[in-house]
Amino acid sequence: MLERSLRYALKLSETLAELKRMATRDALTGLLNRREFDRLLAEETERSKRFGRSFSLVLLDLDKFKLVNDLHGHQAGDAVLIETARRLLPHMRRVDRLARFGGEEIAVLLVELDQREAALVAQRLVESVRGASLRSGRLRRAFGGDGQCRGGGNAGERQHCEDARGEGGQSTVRGQT
């Protein structure tokens, strides 16, 4: 009876871990999904506000990704996303977060990095993908922020950060070959 209960508890634990993975990870790339990234961004925004610590947000977008899907099929596009994630992961610190933010968009949360440091990381990320033997376009741009967009992380506050980023108040690193 005890052995059966232990097996059941172990199976339940494994099932819960799998459910958590499915709820927080992108099925294709294994990166964090947008929902989990938004949750972590809200936490980091609150921590930044409370303790005055900086963080940076880097957004990566693959050039001509739609064209890859249109010309070579979605399997080729999937391969591009998987390879891009594989190339980016080695450049991340344990405290940083990498997420598939949208179709071909990848978001990076860099904890306790200012704008200058984030721009250097963004450049390394661009370089890690530039010239890759992928069947797709190139990494187009990365925006580095300095964590000055602070608040509770609700949709309106995130939109404010996106608006500020769109106004060119942050650095831009372009990666083209």
- pLDDT tens-place string over residues 44-77: 999 999 999 889 999 998 878 888 888 888 888 8
Q: What is the per-residue pLDDT for 1?
A: 85
DSSP state of 169: -
Task: Kindly list the distances between the CA atom of residue 100 and the CA atoms of 26, 84, 108, 167, in Å, as whole numbers in the listed order.
Answer: 7, 11, 9, 23
40: pLDDT strictly greater than 90: yes
Signed CA dihedral, 160, 165, 166, 167: sign only: positive
Q: Which two tokens stand for residue 16?
A: 């819960």
Rounded to whole angstroms, how far apart are CA atoms 60 and 87?
Answer: 13
Q: What is the per-residue pLDDT across 3-38, written as a single tens digit (0 to 9) for each? A: 888 888 888 889 888 888 888 999 999 999 999 999
Instruction: Tell me which residue of 66, 56, 149, 160 sits closest to 105, measured CA to CA.
Output: 66
Ordered by where they begin, the domains of the chain are 29-174 (3.30.70.270)
Place of tokens 């650095």: 171
Residue among 50, 59, 46, 42 nearest 162 (CA): 59
Q: How confident is the model at residue 129 (pLDDT cuts 50, 70, 90)?
A: confident
170 versus 98: which is more confidently predicted? Answer: 98
Average pLDDT, rounded, for the chain: 78
Q: How many CA atoms lie within 13 A of 73 on its CB side?
A: 2
Structure letter (DSSP) for residue 133: S
Please tell me the predicted confidence (pLDDT) of residue 132. Answer: 61
Contact 62, 104 (CB under 8 A): yes
Average pLDDT, stretch 100-104?
90
